Structure formats: C-alpha cells, structure tokens
Amino acid sequence: MLNKVKQFIEGNLNMLEDKVFGKPLYYKEQIIYRMKQCPDCNKEGKCRYCGCSVPEKHYVEETCNRGDRFPDLMNETDWNQYKKDNNIEIKVNDN
C-alpha cells in the first residue's frame, strides 16, 4: 500500500513538472510510448495491472507490468538503444 502511495505522488509530481517546466525529449518519448502501449488502460482511466490512475501512472519510473507492455523509464542512452533495438519511432509535439 505504501508503494502505491509513493507511486501516486511520484507520477503526479513528474506529470506536473513536465507540464510546468518540461521534461527532456527522451523522457517525453517514453511517456508517449507508454500511453500507446496501454490503450485499454487509457480508456478505463486506470492501469489494468495495478489500478493506479492514468496518465499519471505513465510518469512513474518503475513499471508495474514486469515489462509485459513497457520497461522502467530509462536514461537517454538506454532509451535511444531500446528504440533502435525495437524499431520504435515517436514524434513529440511541443506545443
């Protein structure tokens, strides 16, 4: 239970930070990728694995799905390699 509270706070703070100050491109790409991997969760408004609310849950560093849908958030180097290895293309609109 305490872990879910921590993840709730982490997700909300990271999402707020992204909206107010902006996160780096590699971070934003991973959030978009996570959202694309979870159309059912997005439709329901909560994660089917843990029940946490989305999109906030997408901003939590640690994945709850054991990598079934997406891995933990990565640093820029690891993310770029992951995109290359998995043939992933993400376009971010910074409007």
Instruction: Give the model confidence (pLDDT) of 41-78 as tens digits.
Output: 999 999 999 898 999 999 999 999 998 999 999 999 99
Confidence of residue 38 (pLDDT cuts 50, 70, 90): very high
The helix or strand, by DSSP H or E, that contains position 18, with its residue range, turns out to be helix 2-20
Distance between CA atoms of residues 36 and 13, nearest Å: 21
Indicate the pTM of the whole model. 0.91
The yes-or-no verdict on residue 18 having pLDDT over 90 is yes
What are the Cα distances from residue 32, in Å, to 16, 36, 58?
A: 16, 6, 9
Distance between CA atoms of residues 31 and 43, nearest Å: 16
Question: Dihedral sign, CA of 7, 9, 10, 11?
Answer: positive
